[in-house]
Structure 1
Amino acid sequence: MPECSCLGIKYATKKVCFLIGFFYFIFFAGYSQNQAVADSLEAIYLSGNYNDNDKLKMLFEIESNQADTEKSLAYSLKLIEAAKVLDSVKYIIIGYLGKGTALRLKGDLSKALESYFEAARIASEEEEGSSLGQANFAIADVYSIMGNHDNAIKYYQNAIKILQKEKDSINLATALTNAGDDYFNNGKLDSALIYFEDSDKIFRKINYPIGTAYNKGNIGMVYAEQGEDDRAEVNINEAITILEELQDYYPISVFLTYMSDIYLRKNNWSRAISYAQRSLDLAQRYGLKEQISESNLKLSELYDHVGNYKKSNSYYKNHIAYRDSVTNLREMEQMADVRTNFEVAQKQSEVDLLEKESEIQLLKDKRQKTVIYVSIIVLILVFFLAMGLYRRNIFIKKTKNIIEEEKNRSDKLLLNILPEETAIELKQRGKVQAKKFESVSIMFTDFKGFTHYADNLAPEKLVETVDYYFSKFDEIIEKYGLEKIKTIGDSYMCAGGLPYPSQDHATKTVLAALEMIEFVNLAKTLNPENRIRFDVRIGINTGPVVAGVVGTKKFAYDIWGDAVNIASRMESNSQPGKINVTENTFTLIKDSFDCEMRGEIEVKNKGMMNMYFVSKIED
Structure 2
Amino acid sequence: MKTVIILLVSVLIAPKVWAQTPEIERLLKTAEQASGKEKIMALADVCKNFYSVDPHKGIAYGEQALQLAGLLKIPSAKSKVYNCIGVNYWTMSDFPTARLYYDSAFKNATLFKDTFEIGIFYNRMGLIYESLGHFDSSLLVFEKELDIYRQLKNPERIGNALENIGTIHLNRGEFKSAITYLIEAKTTYETTGNKKKLPYIYLKLGQIYSELQDFSIAEEWFQKGIEQSLALNDLPKAGIGLNAMGILYKNQGKYEEAIRKFKTALETTKNLNNRNLTGIIYGNMGNVYLSLENYTEALNYHQKSLDLAVQTKIPLAIARQQVNLGQDYYSLKEYPQARSFYEKALPAFIASKTQSELLQTYKALIDVNNALNDYEKSV
Cα deviation code 1:440-495 (max 9, x no counterpart): xxxxxxxxxxxxxxxxxxxxxxxxxxxxxxxxxxxxxxxxxxxxxxxxxxxxxxxx
Give the structure 1 partner of residue 12 of structure 2: 24
CA distance in 1, matches of 2:113, 2:266: 40
**SS at structure 2 position matched to 1:51:** helix
Give the structure 1 partner of residue 235 of structure 2: 209
Letter in 1 for 2:298: A
Letter in 2 for 1:256: Y
Q: Do residues 37 (structure 1) and 45 (structure 2) align? A: no
CA distance in 2, matches of 1:79, 1:169: 30
Are the structure 2 counterparts of residues 199 and 88 from structure 1 closer, same or farther at C-alpha, using a change threshold of 3 Å? farther
Give the structure 1 partner of residue 147 of structure 2: 121
Question: What's the % identity of the aligned pairs?
Answer: 17
Give the structure 2 partner of residue 281 of structure 1: 307
Q: Do residues 272 (structure 1) and 298 (structure 2) align? A: yes
Alignment counterpart, residue 248 of structure 1, candidates 255, 270, 274: 274
CA distance in 2, matches of 1:284, 1:29: 24
Alignment counterpart, residue 230 of structure 1, candidates 234, 240, 256: 256
Mapped contact 1:34–1:247 kept (Cα < 8 A)? no
CA distance in 2, matches of 1:236, 1:77: 40
Mapped contact 1:224–1:232 kept (Cα < 8 A)? yes
**SS at structure 2 position matched to 1:152:** helix
Q: Do residues 186 (structure 1) and 226 (structure 2) align? A: no
Q: Do residues 220 (structure 1) and 246 (structure 2) align? A: yes
Once the 2 structures are TM-superposed, how far is the Cα of residue 198 of structure 1 from its aligned partner? 2.4
Once the 2 structures are TM-superposed, how far is the Cα of residue 119 of structure 1 from its aligned partner? 0.9
Letter in 2 for 1:21: V
Mapped contact 1:60–1:76 kept (Cα < 8 A)? yes
Letter in 2 for 1:275: Y
Are the structure 2 counterparts of residues 93 and 49 from structure 1 closer, same or farther at C-alpha, using a change threshold of 3 Å? closer
Q: How many residues align?
A: 324
Letter in 1 for 2:260: V
More helix by share: 2
Alignment counterpart, residue 262 of structure 1, candidates 288, 310, 313: 288
**SS at structure 2 position matched to 1:107:** coil
Letter in 2 for 1:151: S
Give the structure 2 partner of residue 497 of structure 1: none
Shifted more, 97-106 versus 205-214: the winner is 205-214
Once the 2 structures are TM-superposed, how far is the Cα of residue 83 of structure 1 from its aligned partner? 4.5
Q: How does 1:462-501 map to 2 (within 5 A)?
A: none
Give the structure 2 partner of residue 291 of structure 1: 317
Cα deviation code 1:499-548 (max 9, x no counterpart): xxxxxxxxxxxxxxxxxxxxxxxxxxxxxxxxxxxxxxxxxxxxxxxxxx
Once the 2 structures are TM-superposed, how far is the Cα of residue 111 of structure 1 from its aligned partner? 0.7
Q: Do residues 14 (structure 1) and 31 (structure 2) align? A: no
Once the 2 structures are TM-superposed, how far is the Cα of residue 254 of structure 1 from its aligned partner? 2.4
CA distance in 2, matches of 1:16, 1:334: 14
Mapped contact 1:19–1:141 kept (Cα < 8 A)? no
Q: How does 1:322-333 map to 2 (within 5 A)?
A: 322-328=348-354
Once the 2 structures are TM-superposed, how far is the Cα of residue 73 of structure 1 from its aligned partner? 4.0
Once the 2 structures are TM-superposed, how far is the Cα of residue 295 of structure 1 from its aligned partner? 1.0
CA distance in 2, matches of 1:15, 1:221: 7
Uncovered stretches (5+) of structure 1, i.e. residues with no partner: 1-12, 337-619
Once the 2 structures are TM-superposed, how far is the Cα of residue 332 of structure 1 from its aligned partner? 7.8
**SS at structure 2 position matched to 1:275:** helix
Are the structure 2 counterparts of residues 60 and 287 from structure 1 closer, same or farther at C-alpha, using a change threshold of 3 Å? closer
Letter in 2 for 1:214: I
Are the structure 2 counterparts of residues 151 and 282 from structure 1 closer, same or farther at C-alpha, using a change threshold of 3 Å? same
Cα deviation code 1:545-567 (max 9, x no counterpart): xxxxxxxxxxxxxxxxxxxxxxx
Give the structure 2 partner of residue 239 of structure 1: 265
Letter in 1 for 2:222: F
Q: Do residues 93 (structure 1) and 93 (structure 2) align? A: no
Cα deviation code 1:361-419 (max 9, x no counterpart): xxxxxxxxxxxxxxxxxxxxxxxxxxxxxxxxxxxxxxxxxxxxxxxxxxxxxxxxxxx
CA distance in 1, matches of 2:137, 2:189: 25
User: Deviation above 6 Å: which 4+ runs of structure 1?
Assistant: 15-18, 330-336
Are the structure 2 counterparts of residues 108 and 306 from structure 1 closer, same or farther at C-alpha, using a change threshold of 3 Å? same
Once the 2 structures are TM-superposed, how far is the Cα of residue 158 of structure 1 from its aligned partner? 1.0
Letter in 2 for 1:141: T
Higher-Rg member (1/2): 1
Are the structure 2 counterparts of residues 264 and 28 from structure 1 closer, same or farther at C-alpha, using a change threshold of 3 Å? closer
Compute the RMSD of aligned alpha carbons.
3.2
CA distance in 2, matches of 1:319, 1:335: 8
Mapped contact 2:209–2:215 kept (Cα < 8 A)? yes
TM-score by length of structure 2 reads: 0.74
